[in-house]
Structure 1
């Protein structure tokens, strides 16, 4: 592999890593916001019925 190919591969891997970290932080934020700030139960943080109720409330 030449130098340019390695550089492109490293940049693509860094972008993929960044996206994975951002998705993880998004879900961590949902959990912290629902459980600690919103005083909800941790078992309901990712329950689809809970989020459907929230979306219905916002509409």
Structure 2
């Protein structure tokens, strides 16, 4: 096994991890936007990005 093949396999492994993390993040953002704006009481889906909303949510959790 050469260094080139090791680096190639490691690079592909890291690329897969990065792609999965991007897809998880996109699914989370899309789910929160749909859950708050369409299903929930929010007026707009973009309201989910306001810091006041997240502080209000954290008050319930903490």
Return the TM-score normalized by structure 1: 0.79
Number of aligned pairs?
59
Distance in structure 2 (CA, Å) of the matches to 1:4 and 1:58: 45
Q: CA separation in 1, counterparts of 2:55 and 2:4?
A: 51
Deviation at 1:19, TM superposition (A): 0.6
Unmatched segments (≥5 aa) in structure 2: none
- What are the ranges of 5 or more consecutive residues in structure 1 without an aligned counterpart? none
1:9 aligns with 2:29: no
RMSD: 1.7
Deviations 1:4-37 (A, max 9, x none): 3211111111111111110111111110110111
- Counterpart among 42, 47, 50 of residue 47 in structure 1: 50
> Which portions of structure 1, spanning 4 or more consecutive aligned residues, are displaced by more than 6 angstroms?
none
TM score, norm. by length of structure 2:
0.76
